[in-house]
Amino acid sequence: MSETSPELIHQIDPLRKRLAEERARGRTIGLVPTMGALHEGHLSLVRLARERCDLVVASVFVNPTQFGPNEDFARYPRNLQRDAELLALAGCHVIFAPTTDAVYPSGHVTSVHVAEVTRRWEGAARPGHFDGVATVVLKLFNMVGPDAAFFGQKDYQQTVVIRRMVRDLDVPVAIHVAPTIRDDDGLAMSSRNAYLSPRERDQGLVLSRTLQRCRELFERGQRDVAVYDSVIADSFAAEPEVCIDYASVVDADTLEPISRIGDRAVVIIAARVGKTRLLDNAILGE
Ligand code: AMP
């Protein structure tokens, strides 16, 4: 298997057979789940997986069950050939790009619901989203059987949901979370940034600018969340065309809002610029 040509596998049985051979040789397996339309954020996860595991599997699957009825499933960017080229450069060994029928054969009726940590924020804005995420991630874990799986901090609530699912269901996989990769101007990389016009992109910088202000407040010792709330409000007031879905300082584990910052908190923001929803967050106190 050469580093420049990852093996492309579309079905579950051949994937299991291939990975069983690797496992029998004592090689550890790392999984990077993605929906494709890859960028440097995804590739940073592949590189981290290469450092931690012997064999890296990247899944490319636009998961229908995590999209709401009025969301962008149909127009979500798909380009497997380009993704495969980028994965080759990042040193991925196996690309698992299953068909929708392979993942959801007709008659499937089972799903995973992680309670509590899915109640607010993305869970409230996108009903059913995290059931779709938890279900597909558990299915991918069962298909691949990875020793470790790699996720981006960019989707902070998702990392909390997956860690909780793994803990609650005794899934034998180590979860690694890697920092958010940003463009030079600070915008968190996202496959959905492709939807932004140059003007919207510029307006969208208010998210990372606001988070930077929050980091500075934290470094100066500020722990009163009311102060953060007013800084966030002032910051977004300068970009009236950007609509906040939520912007809140929350407990890093429970995702519940807090009024004072203890050891560790997260500022989570979701906002809409035109038709595009942007997410970003900052952990305060690693
Ligand atoms: P997606 O393809 O959007 O489902 O994302 C696949 C994985 O890449 C998830 O674990 C995301 O959190 C992660 N990811 C997406 N954007 C970034 C980014 N800018 N930096 C780091 N990881 C990211």
| pLDDT tens, residue by residue, 177-214 | 999 999 999 999 999 999 999 999 999 999 999 999 99
- The CB of 45 under 6 Å from ligand 1? The reply is yes
Told to judge if 42 belongs to the known catalytic residues of this protein, a careful annotator would answer yes
Which atom of ligand 1 lies at the shortest distance from residue 150's CA?
10
CA-nearest of 271, 265, 269, 270 to 283 is: 265
Which of 140, 154, 279 has the most ligand 1 atoms within 8 A of CB, as the residue to mutate?
154
Residue 35 vs residues 110, 191, 222, 237: alpha-carbon distances, Å: 21, 9, 38, 33
pLDDT at site 286: 76
Q: Are 153 and 281 in contact (CB under 8 A)?
A: yes
Q: Does 1 score more than 60 pLDDT?
A: no
The stretches of 129-224 forming alpha helices (DSSP H) are 129-144, 156-168, 198-219
Please give the distance, rounded to the nearest whole angstrom, from the Cα atom of residue 73 to the centre of ligand 1: 17
Catalytic residue among 42, 93, 129, 176: 42
pLDDT tens column, 125-169:
999 999 999 999 999 999 999 999 999 999 999 999 999 999 999
Which atom of ligand 1 lies at the shortest distance from residue 191's CA?
3
CA 199 – CA 178 distance, rounded (Å)? 29
CA 138 – CA 146 distance, rounded (Å)? 11
Residue 49 vs residues 136, 194, 258: alpha-carbon distances, Å: 20, 26, 34
- The CB of 151 under 6 Å from ligand 1? The reply is yes
Q: Are 242 and 280 in contact (CB under 8 A)?
A: no
Strand-pair partners of 283: 266
Q: Does 2 score more than 90 pLDDT?
A: no
The size of the chain, in residues, is: 286
Report the SS3 class of residue 17: helix
pLDDT at site 4: 60
- The CB of 154 under 6 Å from ligand 1? The reply is yes
| pTM for the structure as a whole | 0.98
- The CB of 159 under 6 Å from ligand 1? The reply is no
